[in-house]
């Protein structure tokens, strides 16, 4: 790219991101290039606290890098040859030792661990943090409950540097649940000073400020524009990161993000259109890593509580009307695993995700819609998260066109990324696109979140089925007791029922696509699909 063309592109960045593009480059150059990483993405965090109300997926990235947990995962070699978290192996992070018994786990804390303001980390901070996670409600509390961590009484301070977790029951998800983002350890003294009677857990303070002992701390944040993180040189949770400063810039235009990468001014980007990733990989000037989402699918959800989607035949008609192959060809460009078209008679697998039996069949869809009492179709809205528009928007347009062929007229509703999670959790959107990836890579964990009828945050379809709940609960119990035959029966049972009732239509298993300069190494794939800055190195 010639200099004058790049300047035109930089000007477009300024217009799109509401900041001057040269500042993207000049800020990075103010630091040693080797010690500063410039990341550009489509959207950014709406909250710095994983326990916050409606914290979006980019917010996970901040929490992961700024807070410690008691334990983390070991790494293994992933499907693309990159480091990939090992779901079954754990290592200490804030803890230096872990002893797991039949009904409890005891952790010895690192005595030299300090929060980012220099305050020592104690077992009292750990208890307060886990008490907070099971008490604030919403997603964090449900996440803890997924591992049978529900009561403050389960968290016990033994002494200043010894902490115990008592198990509510035998549950194979309990220990893995302590290694996800939610049970992060917070500087309780600092947050209590900034709490109020109406906000006893200090959520307003931690929305804007980090208060952890992790490898990085947020030094500045302009919502929708930029996050700057500085290394915590006192971090003891692992090897000190090589990168001192992270500049994470929100650049909504995919074309501008690509231009910054190709120019060499940005070090890493993700959330580009798949077509761009394919072309960049073919050009060979950047490293492109594509990894299937663990335990994840992109899906079309329907609110089954209200007409017309309370009728199973309407939902099945929608499933037959989806233009699956067009989405694979025009949106994914091969960077995604189809989740449709299972061969007739093929056995259901004890696995998730797996393809359903539906293919695009417009005539069959019309027939089912007529049988449901809608021979002329109906009108509805199709919503999606604008923060991930590069995949969502073309997918929505293709679905809109195809549903129109069976008489369903859809108005596309683009919800800003900062508001999408809140709107989704209201459970009022009639038809919507979303992606869900279960942090603990077990089929029953995905179904607990997405299909269970009892207080399930991500059962955004308002789906209720006693039979489904029995299958899910049975699988959880069988897994804890080592009852393989019952476990396999129940997993097959809930998968088959999901594909019969079809409250959500799996479209594809997405890939996590990341583009990096050739001199950047250390990328690791994690269950949360966000960047781990701690391992990133720039030569």
Q: Report the sign of the C-alpha dihedral through residues 282, 283, 284, 287, in that order.
A: negative
Judge whether residue 17 has pLDDT over 50: no
> Sorting pLDDT into bands at 50, 70 and 90, what band is 26?
low
Residue-level pLDDT at 24: 53
Residue-level pLDDT at 25: 52
Residue-level pLDDT at 383: 98
Judge whether residue 382 has pLDDT over 70: yes
Rounded CA separation 114/488 (Å)? 45
Per DSSP, the residues of 241-309 read PS--EEEEEE---HHHHHHHHHHTS-SEEE---HHHHHHHHHHTSEEEEEEEPTTEEEEEEE-TTSTTT
Decide: residue 362, CB within 10 A, 0-12 exposed, 13-18 middle, 19+ buried.
middle
Give which of 117, 82, 324, 70 is closest to 211, Cα–Cα.
117
Structural domains in the chain plus CATH codes = 3-66+214-285+518-538 (3.40.190.10), 80-190 (3.90.76.10), 296-511 (3.10.105.10)
Give which of 261, 321, 257, 294 is closest to 520, Cα–Cα.
261
Higher pLDDT, 40 or 23: 40
> Sorting pLDDT into bands at 50, 70 and 90, what band is 19?
very low
State the virtual CA torsion across 389, 391, 392, 394 in degrees, nearest 10. 100
Per DSSP, the residues of 454-487 read SS-TT-TT----HHHHHHHHHHHHHHHHT-HHHH
Residue-level pLDDT at 9: 38
Q: What is the DSSP letter of 512?
A: E
Q: Quick one: what percent of the chain has pLDDT higher than 90?
A: 91
Judge whether residue 30 has pLDDT over 80: no
Rounded CA separation 246/512 (Å)? 20
Residue-level pLDDT at 454: 86
Pairing assessment for the beta strands 378-385 and 408-415 based on DSSP bridges: parallel
Query: Which residues, other chains included, contact 258 with Cβ-Cβ below 8 Å and sequence gap of 6+?
Result: 269, 272, 276, 280
State if pTM tops 0.85.
yes
CB of 44 closer than 8 Å to CB of 386:
no
Using one digit for the tens of pLDDT, what is the confidence trace for 236-273? 999 999 999 999 999 999 999 999 999 999 999 988 99
Using one digit for the tens of pLDDT, what is the confidence trace for 101-128? 999 999 999 999 999 999 999 999 999 9
Higher pLDDT, 360 or 421: 360
User: Residue 225 is encoded by which pair of tokens?
Assistant: 């524009």
**Of 6-20, 122-136, 404-418, which range is least confident?**
6-20
What integer is the mean pLDDT of 169-192?
97
Rounded CA separation 471/490 (Å)? 5
Residue-level pLDDT at 33: 75
Judge whether residue 2 has pLDDT over 70: no
> Sorting pLDDT into bands at 50, 70 and 90, what band is 29?
low
Pairing assessment for the beta strands 286-292 and 504-517 based on DSSP bridges: antiparallel
Decide: residue 182, CB within 10 A, 0-12 exposed, 13-18 middle, 19+ buried.
buried
**What does the radius of gyration of the chain's CA atoms come to, in whole angstroms?**
23
Alpha helices for 55-179 (secondary structure H): 57-66, 123-135, 138-145, 174-177
Using one digit for the tens of pLDDT, what is the confidence trace for 71-80? 999 999 998 8
User: Residue 399 is encoded by which pair of tokens?
Assistant: 């679905």
The beta strand positions in 309-377, using DSSP E, are: 336-338
Q: Angle 312-321/362-371 helices, nearest 10 degrees?
A: 170
**254: alpha, beta or left? (left if phi > 0; alpha if psi -120 to 50):** alpha
User: Residue 47 is encoded by which pair of tokens?
Assistant: 């909250």
Q: What are phi and psi for residue 129, nearest 5 degrees? A: -65, -45
Give which of 356, 408, 413 is closest to 383, Cα–Cα.
413
CB of 85 closer than 8 Å to CB of 512:
no
**CA distances, 143 to each of 173, 331, 342, 414 (Å):** 11, 31, 32, 27
> Sorting pLDDT into bands at 50, 70 and 90, what band is 8?
very low
Residue-level pLDDT at 240: 97
**Residue 142 half-sphere exposure, CB side, CA atoms within 13 Å?**
19
> 117-145 burial, b for 16+ CB within 10 Å, e for fewer?
eeeebbbebbbbbbbbbbebeebbbbbbb
Judge whether residue 137 has pLDDT over 80: yes
Residue-level pLDDT at 34: 82
Residue-level pLDDT at 271: 84
Q: Calculate the average pLDDT of the chain.
A: 93
Q: What is the DSSP letter of 387?
A: G
Rounded CA separation 422/205 (Å)? 20
Judge whether residue 10 has pLDDT over 50: no
């Amino acid at each position: 790219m010639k200099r004058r063309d790049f300047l035109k592109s930089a000007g477009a960045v300024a217009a799109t991101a509401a900041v001057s593009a040269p500042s993207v480059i000049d800020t990075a150059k103010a630091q040693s290039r080797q010690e500063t990483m410039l990341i550009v993405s489509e959207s950014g965090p709406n909250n710095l606290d994983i326990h916050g109300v409606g914290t979006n997926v980019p917010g996970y990235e901040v929490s992961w890098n700024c807070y410690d947990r008691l334990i983390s995962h070991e790494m293994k070699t992933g499907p693309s040859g990159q480091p990939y978290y090992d779901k079954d192996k754990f290592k200490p992070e804030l803890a230096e030792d872990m002893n797991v018994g039949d009904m409890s786990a005891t952790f010895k804390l690192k005595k030299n661990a300090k929060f980012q303001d220099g305050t020592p980390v104690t077992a009292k901070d750990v208890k307060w943090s886990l008490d907070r996670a099971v008490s604030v409600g919403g997603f964090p509390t449900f996440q803890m409950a997924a591992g049978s961590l529900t009561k403050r009484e389960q968290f016990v301070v033994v002494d200043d540097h010894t902490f115990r977790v008592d198990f509510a029951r035998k549950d194979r998800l309990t220990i893995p649940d302590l290694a996800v983002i939610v049970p992060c350890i917070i500087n309780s003294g600092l947050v209590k000073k900034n709490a109020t009677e109406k906000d006893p857990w200090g959520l307003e303070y931690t929305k804007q400020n980090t208060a952890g002992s992790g490898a990085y701390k947020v030094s500045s944040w302009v919502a929708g524009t930029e996050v700057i993180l500085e290394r915590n040189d006192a971090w003891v949770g692992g090897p000190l990161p090589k990168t001192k400063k992270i500049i994470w810039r929100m650049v909504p235009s995919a074309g501008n993000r690509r231009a910054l990468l190709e120019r060499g001014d940005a070090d890493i980007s993700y959330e580009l259109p798949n077509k761009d990733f394919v072309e960049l990989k073919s050009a060979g000037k950047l490293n492109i890593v594509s990894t299937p989402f663990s335990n994840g699918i992109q899906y079309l959800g329907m609110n089954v509580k209200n007409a017309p989607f309370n009728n199973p035949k309407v939902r099945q008609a929608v499933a037959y009307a989806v233009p699956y192959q067009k989405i694979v060809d025009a949106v994914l460009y091969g960077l995604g695993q189809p989740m449709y078209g299972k061969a007739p008679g093929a056995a259901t697998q004890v696995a998730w995700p797996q393809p359903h039996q539906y293919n695009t069949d417009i005539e069959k869809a019309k027939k089912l819609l007529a049988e449901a009492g809608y021979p002329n179709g109906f009108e509805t809205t199709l919503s999606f998260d604008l923060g991930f528009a590069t995949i969502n928007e073309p997918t929505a347009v293709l679905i809109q066109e195809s549903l129109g062929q069976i008489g369903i007229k859809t108005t596309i509703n683009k919800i800003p990324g900062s508001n999408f999670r809140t709107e989704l959790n209201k459970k009022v959107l009639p038809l919507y696109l979303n992606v869900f990836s279960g942090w603990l890579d077990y089929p029953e964990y995905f179904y607990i979140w997405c299909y269970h009828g009892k207080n399930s945050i991500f059962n955004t379809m308002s789906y209720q089925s006693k039979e489904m709940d029995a299958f899910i609960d049975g699988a959880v119990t069988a897994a804890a007791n080592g009852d393989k035959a019952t476990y396999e029966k129940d997993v097959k049972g809930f998968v088959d029922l999901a594909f019969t009732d079809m409250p959500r239509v799996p479209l594809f298993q997405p890939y996590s696509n990341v583009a990096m300069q050739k001199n950047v190494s250390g990328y690791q794939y994690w269950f949360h699909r966000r960047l781990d800055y701690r391992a990133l190195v720039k030569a």
